[in-house]
Amino acid sequence: MLAVALVTGGAAAFGPYLYYTLLDWLYPNLWGDDAWTFGDYLVFAAPIVLGLAIAVALGWRVAKGIARPVEEVAEAARAIAAGDFHARAGHERRGSGETESLVADFNSMADRLEQAEAELRYSNSAIAHELRTPLTILRGRLQGLADGVFQADSQLYGRLTQHVEDLSRLVEDLRTLGLFSAGQIELRLEVIDLAEEAAKVVEMMEPDLAVAGVEVHAHFVPAYVRGDGARLRQALLALLDNARRYAGAGILTVGTRVETAQVVLYCTDFGPGLPKGAESRVFDRFWRGDESRSRASGGSGLGLAVVRAVARAHQGDALAYSRPGAGTTVEIRLPLADQAAVEAQAAQVGRG
């Protein structure tokens, strides 16, 4: 539009001057007096009218190119607001660079909304299923006790207690994921040695791992991070419990290492490994690599989702990689604590 305005203004200003200069050069004796004629006015008016016509035509075309994608975005937004998450702004017409960016950004947002809506529906269904199974068992056992069908003994009470613990863990996992999704997860940050926290969890889980035929090999080196010890223990507990349920009997290697600016807590099993291409999905909520086996083992499919949520809440991340038939490695990567903070923490502990 700026170019059109400049060309139109230049034609109106210099067009008549160039016309009369050329005419005077070709016909020096043409002019008899200085009075203006209709032709003179037409010479001055023609560039202005022509320029305005061109400006209007180009302006209309440009305006339509801008307005059309905006109208499509508005229509798609109204459709999404009405509950149609499949609506998208059209791609068949191309506008300016800015409107193309607007349409692309809107469609990307719509994709995210559709994915989030689908995940919400699936999560609601999965949560209902996960809660229904232990609650049905508890209700049946308690009703049997009340009717005298079952005899009360320590073994029955132990099974009931285990179901209650599974429910409590499921509720806590859901709470953690909900707080993380809302950006409201609370962390009590302090400088801690991740190796010490991991060693506590391994010691606590060793009896259960031994029952499952899992032998733990620990390789801990001091690895200081600024984090919430309770949340990090929760993440490692979920990681070890996931290995106990799904990796099968064998050796489980747990350790820490320090890289350039990160601390890595890793857990490597020698189980069947992940299905091909599953590394990007293993941290999704309620995802299972083998549906029937996972259901039988009693897992909720939330363990690794909690691991990633806790890691990201600490400005880190969780990664998984696997070789089919050769085990799986899951890593929790966290920022390395500042050396000055580590020394200050050590001095405070020494004074205590």
Task: For residue 233, give the CATH number of its domain.
Answer: 3.30.565.10
Q: Is residue 348 part of a domain?
A: no
Q: Is residue 118 part of a domain?
A: no
Same domain as 334, residue 194 = yes
Mean pLDDT over residues 211-231, rounded? 89
Same domain as 97, residue 177 = no
Type and span of the H or E element at 47: helix 38-81
Structure tokens at 48: 């202005």
Final residue belonging to a domain, choices 155, 181, 207:
181
Q: Is residue 351 part of a domain?
A: no
CB 91 within 8 A of CB 103: yes
Same domain as 223, residue 140 = no
Same domain as 146, residue 75 = no
Type and span of the H or E element at 274: none
C-alpha 250/C-alpha 209 separation (Å) is: 10
CB 251 within 8 A of CB 270: yes
Phi and psi, residue 255, nearest 5°: -165, 180
Type and span of the H or E element at 329: strand 328-335
Predicted local confidence at residue 296, as pLDDT:
45
C-alpha 210/C-alpha 80 separation (Å) is: 52
SS3 83: coil
Same domain as 75, residue 168 = no
Same domain as 194, residue 176 = no
CB 225 within 8 A of CB 190: no
Same domain as 289, residue 226 = yes
Q: Is residue 115 part of a domain?
A: no
User: Which residues make beta-bridge pairs with 332?
Assistant: 265, 318
C-alpha 252/C-alpha 200 separation (Å) is: 16
SS3 190: strand
Q: Is residue 116 part of a domain?
A: no
- Listed residue (250, 270, 268, 244) closest to 319, CA to CA: 268
For the cut 90, the answer to whether the pLDDT of residue 242 exceeds it is no
User: Which residues make beta-bridge pairs with 333?
Assistant: 264, 317
Same domain as 77, residue 15 = yes
pLDDT band (50, 70, 90) for residue 136: confident
pLDDT band (50, 70, 90) for residue 91: low
Same domain as 92, residue 7 = yes
**3-state DSSP percent of the chain in helix, strand and coil, to 5:** 60, 15, 25
Predicted local confidence at residue 101, as pLDDT:
81
Q: Is residue 27 part of a domain?
A: yes
For the cut 90, the answer to whether the pLDDT of residue 111 exceeds it is no
Mean pLDDT over residues 229-245, rounded? 86
Mean pLDDT over residues 140-169, rounded? 80
- Listed residue (110, 60, 113, 63) closest to 90, CA to CA: 110
Q: Is residue 119 part of a domain?
A: no
Predicted local confidence at residue 263, as pLDDT:
92
Q: Is residue 146 part of a domain?
A: yes
Same domain as 152, residue 99 = no
Q: Where are the beta strands (DSSP E) in 168-295?
A: 190-193, 214-219, 224-227, 250-258, 262-269
Same domain as 247, residue 315 = yes
Segments forming the whole domain that contains residue 21: 2-109
Lowest mean pLDDT among 81-85, 202-206, 322-326: 322-326
More confident residue, 6 or 185: 185
Predicted local confidence at residue 39, as pLDDT:
63
Final residue belonging to a domain, choices 63, 82, 109:
109
Q: Mean pLDDT across the chain, nearest whole number?
A: 77
What is the number of structural domains in the chain?
A: 3
Predicted local confidence at residue 264, as pLDDT:
92
Residue whose structure tokens are 């363990």: 303
C-alpha 269/C-alpha 188 separation (Å) is: 31
Same domain as 309, residue 198 = yes
CB 318 within 8 A of CB 307: yes
